[in-house]
Amino acid sequence: MSEIREGLGYTEEHEWALAADENTVRIGITDYAQIQLGDIVFVELPEIGAAVAPGDSLGSIESVKTVSDLYSPVGGKVIKVNEALLDQPELVNAEPYEGGWIAEIQVESAAAAVGSLLDPAAYKALVE
């Protein structure tokens, strides 16, 4: 069974979002998603400075099975990417909620942005 963490917002496309601070949302893919994908071999990161709307493609994640688009759960500006994934894409498998995060997006209100997503109970109902 996959891990679903409290305190995060989730999307139907299996991304998670964390209010990292007042105006920053950290995003990644869920434990469920990384299990479904299998061994991740490449992560295409978004460009720093890119403006994104909710649902926009941020890049892609390639596994031994398939290539999947990564979608932004929130709207704002990409301010940081996890460059460690360029050399260690397997971090997404090993630590989807810690070392395997994908990007940080600057928003007006991180709490409001995350609050607009699926809560853990709703995401659990989606994947079970």
Instruction: Quote the tokens at residue 88.
Output: 């260690």
What is the pLDDT, as a whole number, of residue 111? 97
Q: What is the pTM of this model?
A: 0.95
Q: What is the C-alpha separation between 126 and 11, in angstroms, rounded?
A: 10
Q: For residue 4, what are its two tokens? A: 């679903």
What pLDDT, on the 0 to 100 scale, is given for residue 1?
Answer: 76
**Dihedral, 113, 3, 44, 17 alpha carbons, nearest 10:** 10
> 45 in helix, strand or coil?
coil
Residues in the chain, pLDDT under 70:
none
78 DSSP β-pair partners? 105
Distance CA 5, CA 96 (A): 11
